Structure 1
Amino acid sequence: MAQQSFNVMIIGQSGRLQYEALLFAASLRHSCPDFSGRLFVAVPQPGPLWQKDPSLRNAAVLAALTRLDVELLPFESKLFGESYPYGNKIEALQAMPEGEPFVFFDSDTLITGDLQAVPFDFCRPSASLRREGTWPKPTLYGPGYDAIWRALYRRFDLDIEPTLDHSQPDEYWKRYLYFNAGFFYGACPQAFGARFASYAQSILTDPPIELVGQSLDPWLDQVALPLVIHSFGGGRDTLPVGYLDGDTSCHYRLFPLLYARESDAVIALLEEIAAPNWLKKVLKTYEPIKRLVYQNRGARVRALFDQDNLPRREQAIRNKIKSAGHWLR
C-alpha cells in the first residue's frame, strides 16, 4: 500500500501562496526525491468570482516551479472565489485526473520525510487531526455539539454513531469527527471534490436550523470535510499517527509560527531548501521569507519561546510575536 502511486495537489495563486508553493515543491523534491506521482499546483483562473486576477503571472515563480517539475493545473471558480478562498481546495479537486489517488496539502506545508512511505489507504480517506476545537461554538441556551453535528449527518443521510469517539465525554468537541483541512486524501479527486462541493454548498445556502448563530466563515470546509470523509468510509483512525503532521510533513501555517513552535529539524530543512541561489532570488522578493529566513529574524522569534513549553493556544503565540514586533505575513 505504501508504494502505490498517487498524485499531490496544492493551491498556488498570486501573493503569499506562490512562495509557499515554491517551498512545498522544493521540500518534496528534497525529502522524497523518488516520488513517483505528479505534483500539481492548482491555479484559480480569473472570472466573475474574483475582483482581481488570482492566477500565477510572476515569471520568476513560474520558471522556478518548472525547474521543480511542477504541473500547473488551471481551474475555474464556479462556487466560491474571492468570497471564500478556502473553497479553492474544494473546486480544484475536480480538475485532477479522475480515478487516480490523491493527497491534498495546504500550501503552507513542508514535506519533511519520505511521502511514499506513508501507509495511505486511499479507500478509507482521512485528514489532519492537528486542530483545535474551533467549530461549532455552542451558545448558552443550545443547541450543543451533539445536536449540531447530528443535524448535519441527518442532512446527508449519514450515520453519526460510528464517528463518535466514546473515550471523550459527551458534549466535548473531540467526541465528534473534526479535522483540520490542512491535508486530506482519497481514491478519486473528482468524486471526492464533487461530494465536497455538494455538501459545502448545501450547508452554506440552506443550513440546518441547529446551525443558527454558528459562523461558517472560515470554517465551512472543516464543517463539510468530516461528512465527506465518513461518506467514503474513512475516519480519524485510518492513518497511523506520526507520519503526516509528524515525521513526514509539517503544516506550519505562517512563517513566524514556524520559527516559534516547529522543531529544529524543520527549521534546518527550510533553511537548506531555501539556500540555492536560483531559488533564493525568487523567495527573497517576499518580505516575510526575506526577513525571517535570509536576514535571520526567525532566530529572534524562536528565542521568544521555550519550544518544550509553548502556550496551549495559538493566539497566545501570535500575540507574543506581534508584541515583539516580529509578526510578518
Structure 2
Amino acid sequence: MAQQSFNVMIIGQAGRLQYEALLFAASLRHSSPNFSGRVFVAVPQPGPLWDKDPSIRSAPVLEVLQRLDVEILPFESKIFGSKYPYGNKIEALQALPEGEPFVFFDSDTLITGDLEAVPFDFSRPSASLRREGTWPKPTLYGPGYTEIWRALYERFGLDMDATLDLSQPDEFWKRYLYFNAGFFYGACPRAFGKRFAVYAQSILKDPPPELIGQSLDPWLDQVALPLVIHSFGGGRDALPTGYLDGETSCHYRLFPLLYARESNAVVDLLQQVAAPNWIKKVLKAYDPIKRLVYQGRGERVRALFDQNHLPRREQAIRNRIKSEGLWER
C-alpha cells in the first residue's frame, strides 16, 4: 500500500526562526525531492497577544521560501502569543487543512532523508523520544512522578496505566509517557490542535494540586502532548525507531549544538543546502549563521569535541562552547 499523502508544518516568524525555516525547507527539498505533500510555514500575525510584530516581513526570506515551494500560513494567536511562544505550535494547527494528515517539526530541524519512506500510521499519533527527564521535578517530600502524572490523566478521563513502560522502574521518568515536542503527527490537525489547546489551557489555568511547585514554562506543551497523543490512541511505540531523530530528520536545536554533537553527514548537509548563492545571500543576513556556517566558526566549535564521546549533559557542551567565545544563537 502506498504511503498516505501528508502535509508538513513548521513555525516561522521574524528573527532566528525565519532563517531556520528557510534551512528546513531547503533540506527537505534536497533530501526528499519527490515529497508530494504541502509544506507550510505557519506565521503568527500581529495582535494584542504580541509585544512586537512576529510576522515574517523580510522580502528576501519570503522570496526564497516561495522558490522552495513553501506556503506561508498566517494564523491568529488567540491564547498564547509572546507570553508563551511555544504555544504557536498548538494554535497554528487550526490553520492547516482539516482532515489531512500532518507532521509538525520544530523549525530548528533538518530533513536528512526521504520523508515519504517514514512508515507513519496517522491513526496512531506519536512524537519525538529524543528527550531528557525535564518534567516533572518531584520534590523530596512528594508527590512523585506517579501521583503527578496520574492527576493529569484523571483530569481528562484517560487511563495512565496503559501508557506505562513497565520495563522501567517505578518513579523513574522514562516509565511515564513523555515526549519532546520537536515533532509530532496525527490524522487531523484541527482535531489534534483543538484538544491540545483545551488540555494545555486547563493545565495552565487550573493545575491539579499535585502540580504545585512544578514549572510549566517552558514545559507546558510537553506536559499536555503525551495526554493528547494517548487520547487519540497513539503512544511511544507507534513509529519505528531510526527514522525521525535518525536517518530522516535531525532536531539540532541551536547551530552551535549542531556543530558540536551531530554527525558528519548532518554537518555536510547543512553546508551543502546553505551553499547556493540565492540561499547564501539571504542566510548571511543572520550573523550567527554567517559566522558559524560561512566564516568557519562552526568547524572551530566542532573541533572542541569528540563526537563519539560527548559530555553526557547538554549544559556541559554549552559551557565549553561559551568558554571559547564561540556561542551563537
Name the TM tier (shorter chain): over 0.9
Matched, 1:281 2:317: no
- Alignment partner, residue 210 of structure 2: 210
Equivalent runs, 1:69-88 vs 2, <5 Å:
69-88=69-88
Cα displacement string for residues 262-308 of structure 1 (whole angstroms, at most 9, x for unaligned residues): 00000000000000000000001111110010001111000110100
Matched, 1:59 2:41: no
Q: Distance between the aligned counterparts of 1:247 and 1:152, measured in 2?
A: 34
Q: Distance between the aligned counterparts of 1:131 and 1:286, measured in 2?
A: 28
- Alignment partner, residue 237 of structure 2: 237
Q: Distance between the aligned counterparts of 1:264 and 1:219, measured in 2?
A: 31
- Alignment partner, residue 264 of structure 2: 264
- Alignment partner, residue 255 of structure 1: 255
CA contact (8 A) 1:10 1:104 kept: yes
In 2 relative to 1, CA 2–265 (structure 1 residues): closer, same or farther, beyond 3 Å? farther
- Alignment partner, residue 198 of structure 1: 198
- Alignment partner, residue 116 of structure 1: 116
Give the counterpart letter for 1:190 in structure 2.
R
- Alignment partner, residue 187 of structure 2: 187
Q: CA deviation at 1:136?
A: 0.2
Q: CA deviation at 1:71?
A: 0.3
Q: CA deviation at 1:319?
A: 0.6
Give the counterpart letter for 1:225 in structure 2.
L
- Alignment partner, residue 143 of structure 1: 143
Cα displacement string for residues 115-174 of structure 1 (whole angstroms, at most 9, x for unaligned residues): 000000000000000000000000111000000000000000000011000000000000
Q: Distance between the aligned counterparts of 1:77 and 1:309, measured in 2?
A: 42
- Alignment partner, residue 21 of structure 2: 21
- Alignment partner, residue 132 of structure 1: 132
Q: Distance between the aligned counterparts of 2:51 and 2:293, measured in 1?
A: 32
Q: CA deviation at 1:189?
A: 0.1
- Alignment partner, residue 46 of structure 1: 46
Considering only aligned residues, what root-mean-square deviation do their CA atoms show, in Å?
0.6
Q: Distance between the aligned counterparts of 1:3 and 1:161, measured in 2?
A: 32
Cα displacement string for residues 6-29 of structure 1 (whole angstroms, at most 9, x for unaligned residues): 000000000000000000000000
Q: Distance between the aligned counterparts of 1:17 and 1:32, measured in 2?
A: 21
| Structure-1-length-normalised TM-score | 0.99
Structure 2 stretches lacking a partner, 5+ long: none
Q: Distance between the aligned counterparts of 2:317 and 2:81, measured in 1?
A: 30
Q: CA deviation at 1:2?
A: 6.0
Q: CA deviation at 1:3?
A: 1.9
Q: Distance between the aligned counterparts of 2:218 and 2:150, measured in 1?
A: 21
CA contact (8 A) 1:10 1:107 kept: yes
Q: Distance between the aligned counterparts of 1:75 and 1:241, measured in 2?
A: 33
- Alignment partner, residue 34 of structure 1: 34
> How many pairs are equivalent?
329
Q: Distance between the aligned counterparts of 1:2 and 1:222, measured in 2?
A: 32
